[in-house]
Amino acid sequence: MKNPYPREAPAVLNLPPNLMGEIGRVIVFHAYVEWRLSLIVYEFLHLTRVLGRLVAKDARATDQLDLICDLISLKDVKTGVDLIHLRKSLVSVVTQRDLLAHGTWTRDPQTKTFILRLAKGSWKPVKNKKVKTKQSGKPRAPEYGIEECRSLTQLISGIILTVDELHVDALGKPAPSQEQSH
């Protein structure tokens, strides 16, 4: 049976090892940020890690930060962290991480470069009676490679440092020790 949704270029499973490594680093760093944010929530609510996992149900990083901001406001905690900037950076990180984790890679037949494509998107048509819109048949293909992954890892490293500062401000004690690999 012929594929009713042909691609301009077939999906690629085997990426260059250096690109695979950078993608893996982004995924690991992002998971670390989620874990660190969850620890702040647990400590704010005086929960053990076991009880915290039952209550929080693996909330997304942005949801965890929103909860931390609510708790900071409710408990009238003073912090030097720019929470709005932190949230904007976190939204950018989560978006790019999701693209890397859920996108598919193709290889341009002419240039042989790897292209990251969205596996599924959140495109919604414009609701306007005068203009009718439809989703483009061509998937969005952002240029995303090793340098973009490295830049994202640096951004996540900065977020980790900011979350550490937030931990100290919010809870009055240093963040749990961490490996100095970032």
Q: Is the pTM of this model over 0.75?
A: yes
Locate 65 and state its tokens.
């930060």
* Pick from 71-80, 87-96, 139-148, 165-174: least confident: 139-148
Domain assignment present for residue 181? The answer is: no
Residue type, 174: P
Q: Judge whether residue 143 has pLDDT over 90.
A: no
Q: Which of 26-30, 44-48, 147-151 ranks highest by mean pLDDT?
A: 26-30
69, 83 contact by CB (below 8 A): yes
17 lies in some domain:
yes
Q: How far apart are CA 123 and CA 156, in angstroms?
A: 26
Task: List residues bridging with 117 in a β-sheet.
Answer: 104
Q: Cα separation of 43 and 68, whole Å?
A: 10
pLDDT of 125 reads 44
Confidence band for 126, pLDDT divided at 50, 70 and 90: very low
Q: Count how many domains the chain has.
A: 1
* Residue 42 counted as domain residue: yes
Q: Residue 71 belongs to what domain range? A: 11-171
The b-or-e profile of 57-86 (16+ CB within 10 A means b, else e) is eebebbebbebbbeebeeeeeebebebeeb
